[in-house]
Structure 1
């Protein structure tokens, strides 16, 4: 979805701030991008999925990007790259075949991508003050859950991780 609507991979948000692919963080979001991740996490928590395993193991769901059909699988997804200015972004739609948990996961993922579209693509990762101890491994060693949630991509996109922002 991110490639469709934003023109870049979700991988760049992995480990960003206090809420992007970090479990059980209760901290104030660092900026708008981090707020998008918080909203996404809360969306997952409030979904109709019966347990956390369902939420994080990716029920395959169907979606369209300006009429082209896609289906999300655990890690591999057919995806085309669209790069366009914000006013001409392709439209994401969760298809009607999604019901229950699938529908909710699709809508949560769609909402976070649309939220990210409000902000410029980050040039570096902001780090949550409560996670500074693990900053050195972000981008190198990813928990399986984080990979499934945020990467949702093929191997060629795993190099899209950002460096940690330097303090000024």
Structure 2
């Protein structure tokens, strides 16, 4: 999804700031890190409010049209929610330059 919107893999954001990557705590260092914090909170909300299998390995479907990721309709509620979290993250990242330093 990140490649669709930004042209780079999501791994370019791994270990950036306090929240990009697994886990997270403290105050976000900038807007990109704040996007990651909101993404973590989005996943936490799904984990607490739905009975979903492992969030980090649950595959969902999406398409890409004109650099816009679109979550595929008619997926189960868990997949739809995860796709929306990831889409929101990528749209947030798009407001900022792609990080060069972590």
Aligned to 2:85: 108
Gaps of 5+ in 2: none
SS in 1 for 2:63: strand
TM-score by length of 2: 0.89
SS in 2 for 1:93: strand
Aligned to 2:5: 5
Cα contact 1:62–1:97 (8 A) shared by 2 = no
Whether 1:95 and 2:77 are equivalent positions in the alignment is no
1:119 is displaced (CA, Å) by: 0.1
Cα distance in 2 between the residues matched to 1:30 and 1:22: 16
1:49 is displaced (CA, Å) by: 4.0
TM-score by length of 1: 0.56
Aligned to 2:14: 14
Gaps of 5+ in 1: 67-88, 126-168
Size of the aligned set, in residue pairs, is: 100
Aligned to 1:63: 62
Which aligned segments of 4 or more residues in structure 1 are displaced greater than 4 angstroms?
none
Cα distance in 2 between the residues matched to 1:15 and 1:26: 12
Cα distance in 2 between the residues matched to 1:22 and 1:7: 22
Richer in helix (by share): 2
Q: Which has the higher contact order (CA 8 A, sep 6+)?
A: 1
Q: CA RMSD in A?
A: 1.5
Q: 1:13-52 counterparts in 2 under 5 A?
A: 13-23=13-23, 25-47=24-46, 48-50=49-51
